[in-house]
Structure 1
Amino acid sequence: MSLATDAPERVRQRPARPLAAVLAAVGIPTFMVTLDNLVVTTALPVIRTELGASLADLQWFVNAYTLPFAAFLLTAAALGDRLGRRRMYIAGIVVFTLASAAAALATEPWMLTAARAVQGLGGAAVAPLSLTLLAQAVPDRLRNAAVGIWGGISGLGVAVGPVVGGAVVEGLHWSWIFWLNVPVGVVAVVLAGTTLRESRGGAPRLDPLGLLLSAAGMLLLVWGVVDGPDRGWTSARVLGMLVSGSALLALFLAWQARNRTPMLPLSLFRSRGFGLVSIVTLTFSAGAFGSVFLLAQFFQVVQGLGPLEAGIRTLPWTMAPMVVAPLAGIFADRAGVRNLIVAGQVLLAAGVLWIALATTTTVSYGDLVIAFVLAGVGMGLTFAPISTMALGSVTEAERGVASGANNTLRELGVAVGVATLASVFSSYGGYTSHEAFVDGIRPAVLVGAAVIAAGAVVAIWLPRRPNIS
């Protein structure tokens, strides 16, 4: 993944690998990483009981994964440029697999949180580098279709996450959610090592100050949002974290503007397509995944269903991206990337708004299923076109860092969305009764719908197709 805008690609010339083999080599690890974004959601009520976890612990089981994931994406990209992208990619898979085993062995909330954080570090090397290695391995004429299939694989991870989590918790034990990653990780290492080509970028110097400022800033900001409802938004602790986090992120941007070898070159945002799609990525991830975090628990906490039944009921939402995302990639040129993103965000916002307004303690599944389908189709229309717009709006030499930056914003959106919507939930309701849960989830999901709708408005101003400007 190249962090230098004028550094030529240095790729070892070898015979082209079959597309199916390349897709398997980048798709299986991508599936594993995206699966673990949501696989714990249907298991949260069980984990909460068995480990004696608090609401803040539940949030950190998710945020401990997404925060280091977001913080180290660009650093992993820089290491890939210097040490080799395939080598860094494989290292990420190994770290993720070992951390999964540690998560399975956790007996206290802090143990699971720590293991999830290490998983996030490994995933930081997998997600962006998988897309970069794929873009490098296929010709330009096949790139949109290949990215669409990659988006479908990501959608599959989202789709089966709640179901796998529910099935495992109900049939085995919640720890098997993480044990399943171990054999998959071994297969992924073998495939990546035998199929993918090694490549390097311009080998720029690392940016340790940028890493420190961005990681510390995001950590403090999200931690402040998580602690706000319990400790009070005006408490010295919460205000201190919010102000300090914002200040550190502002310093990070100022440093990136001055640094000759930044981890996030701000010149990327001179492209209208890349700048606007970055905003849409952030709002989409925050609104959608923040809502899913709470909705995945609704069927268990309020309607008394088991984890597997709850996961199955989310399938009309979570299965749709697996089907729609590849089609969006294939037809992106004909329909226009912007049009697909706008349509996706409108459908997603409408579906989430419908769910928020319809949710009551006695709501039937039939009253929600169409809204779930709308939300799922909207997510499917968004996954691949966002990646296509991000990669296509910059020069070839900038695609590595563009992929890393786009993934960083997506994971930051997940972390902030989960923290913010969980905070709204706990401000208005809680787990004390069915009525209290509904009192909390309705305003929280309404906020999620509003955030997604704001992104839909921004998407209108995107160029119809990716262009370098």
Structure 2
Amino acid sequence: MTAPATSPSPHAARPWPALWALVIGFFMILVDTTIVSVANPAIKAALDPDTNNLDNVVWVTSAYLLTYAVPLLVTGRLGDRFGPKNIYLSGLAVFTLASLACGLSTSLGMLIAARAVQGVGAALMTPQTMAVITRTFPADRRGAAMGLWGATAGVATLVGPLAGGLLVDGLGWEWIFFINIPVGIIGFVLAWMLVPSLEKHPHRFDIPGVLLSGLGLFLLVFGLQEGEHFDWAPWVWAMVVGGVGVLVAFVWGQRRTTREPLVPLDLFRERNFSISNLAIATVGFTMTTMALPLMFFIQLARGLTPTESALLLVPMALISGVLAPFAGKLLDRTDPRLLLVPGLILTSAALFWYAALMTVDTPIWQFLLPSALMGIGSAGMWGPLATTATRMLPPRQAGAGAGIYNTTRTIGSVIGSASVAAFMQARLEANLPGAADAPSGFGGGTLPPAVAEGFSQAMAQTVLLPASVLLLGVIAVLFLRRPKTLPAPSPAPVASAAAE
């Protein structure tokens, strides 16, 4: 039953402290992702040193993204039904404990399994952050709140690689996961104290829809991920086609169901919500895939340490973190296309620039330049897209809308992670014929000059994939429109503490 609404609490009147508390958990999720991208070479060297297949270690990312993506549709609804605060705290506890298991892993398989549990925790947490913003901030101030959300992503891109580099170099790859434990405890206490207990809304859960969406995603991702490893055997293609078919059946079922659907398709009648979901899928694809080939190139072909590799990303993180709040405030007063089109174009241009620089002879300092350009682009991308997607959502559908938005972003990331593994391995085979059969693997330190040139070409060609996909996002956001009217500001209903 729905908890009785009471008068707004001080938390609802002052939503910023609650948002800052939630941002700690969101920040931890983002840092964890960027830390792993820097640590992948070290993880491969420690747990999978004897093979030349890079797709094995990519599963450390793909398993996390897969279990992150599948539950998002239902975890958003769980926040509506049981309160975003309760679900957020549950997810934070799962994520923190799974981080401990990741650090204690003694094999690649064990690490992948622990990362899968981490993904479930992240799936419980993420929609609640956006739902609280939607339900506690009036629409005409939501851009500033989402600006903080975007700035968090920018700062995380700095802290993650730097912390990852320092921890991997100084203490070992295990500590990129152990560091989550104190952060998780602090975030749990602050969220318990500062996040309000918002009104609950009753929902019925579409279990067949959950099963179909999970099965479809698994078939699609596993087929893409392992296709190159199994020489694209007929059964691999059957998995990919079957996954697409199951997802089509899922959408058809959501449209025909007489019960409450897992995905309220009516939300897609709002033009900006639909287009923002398409665009964020391309962003998720791009930001997941670009880090893997870039970090492998910097560390294996150029011989930089994880810390030195991370320092090359400092301009991107600093510029994005500084500009994102201003972009959010500007979005409250302007057409979203004025920020999103240049933001996406600049980010794509930075990736094409990276690809052009990825040779064994390029001076290392030149990699700071596309990093700075990407920082400018990112500031006009993350926060503005989230604001545009959620601005017109009714409070009752806040959790569902946030779940759908984060699902499409994570599906883009999952498909990107699977695709980049196959594409990267294909480019390696094309530029270094017979590399998969070589007696030594890519996990043993800096590559010899005879191999480094072909390896660099393969990684550069791989970066062209996310750069091109992001251009599809540019085309999508051209069809956005500026909202003519905004919902009148109103305080969010708050449930009594006892009801939570």
Normalised to the residue count of structure 1, the TM-score between the two structures is 0.94
Asked if 1:41 is matched to 2:40, the reply is: no
| In structure 2, distance between residues paired with 1:169 and 1:183 | 18
1:454 match: 472
Asked if 1:440 is matched to 2:458, the reply is: yes
Residues 1:324 and 1:11: Cα distance change in structure 2 (over 3 Å): farther
Kindly provide the CA deviation profile for residues 298-341 of structure 1, in whole angstroms up to 9, marking residues without a partner as x: 21011101111111112222333222221111111234222211
| In structure 1, distance between residues paired with 2:81 and 2:323 | 36
Shift of 1:20: 4.5
2:254 match: 256
1:242 match: 240
Normalised to the residue count of structure 2, the TM-score between the two structures is 0.88
Greater shift after overlay, 424-433 or 320-329?
424-433
Task: Map 1:59-78 onto structure 2 (within 5 A).
Answer: 59-78=58-77
| In structure 2, distance between residues paired with 1:443 and 1:152 | 30
1:4 match: none
2:125 match: 126
1:407 match: 406
1:52 match: 48
Q: Would the aligned equivalents of 1:26 and 1:131 in 2 still touch at CA under 8 Å?
A: no
Shift of 1:126: 0.9
Asked if 1:218 is matched to 2:212, the reply is: no
| In structure 2, distance between residues paired with 1:200 and 1:57 | 44
Asked if 1:16 is matched to 2:6, the reply is: no
Shift of 1:188: 1.1
Asked if 1:464 is matched to 2:482, the reply is: yes
Q: Number of residue pairs matched?
A: 462
* Unpaired segments ≥5 residues, structure 1: 1-6
Shift of 1:202: 2.6
Q: Would the aligned equivalents of 1:389 and 1:466 in 2 still touch at CA under 8 Å?
A: no
| In structure 2, distance between residues paired with 1:237 and 1:436 | 31
| In structure 1, distance between residues paired with 2:7 and 2:292 | 45
| In structure 2, distance between residues paired with 1:290 and 1:106 | 25
SS at match of 1:357: helix
Q: Would the aligned equivalents of 1:388 and 1:466 in 2 still touch at CA under 8 Å?
A: no
Q: Would the aligned equivalents of 1:422 and 1:444 in 2 still touch at CA under 8 Å?
A: no
Shift of 1:241: 1.2
| In structure 2, distance between residues paired with 1:397 and 1:158 | 33
| In structure 2, distance between residues paired with 1:150 and 1:464 | 21
SS at match of 1:240: helix
Residues 1:113 and 1:467: Cα distance change in structure 2 (over 3 Å): farther
2:283 match: 284
| In structure 2, distance between residues paired with 1:113 and 1:320 | 33
* Unpaired segments ≥5 residues, structure 2: 430-441, 488-500
Kindly provide the CA deviation profile for residues 158-190 of structure 1, in whole angstroms up to 9, marking residues without a partner as x: 332111111100111111111111111111111
Aligned Cα root-mean-square deviation (Å): 2.1
Q: Would the aligned equivalents of 1:148 and 1:330 in 2 still touch at CA under 8 Å?
A: yes
Shift of 1:293: 2.1
SS at match of 1:429: helix
Shift of 1:454: 1.5
Kindly provide the CA deviation profile for residues 248-295 of structure 1, in whole angstroms up to 9, marking residues without a partner as x: 111110111112311111111111111111111111211232112221
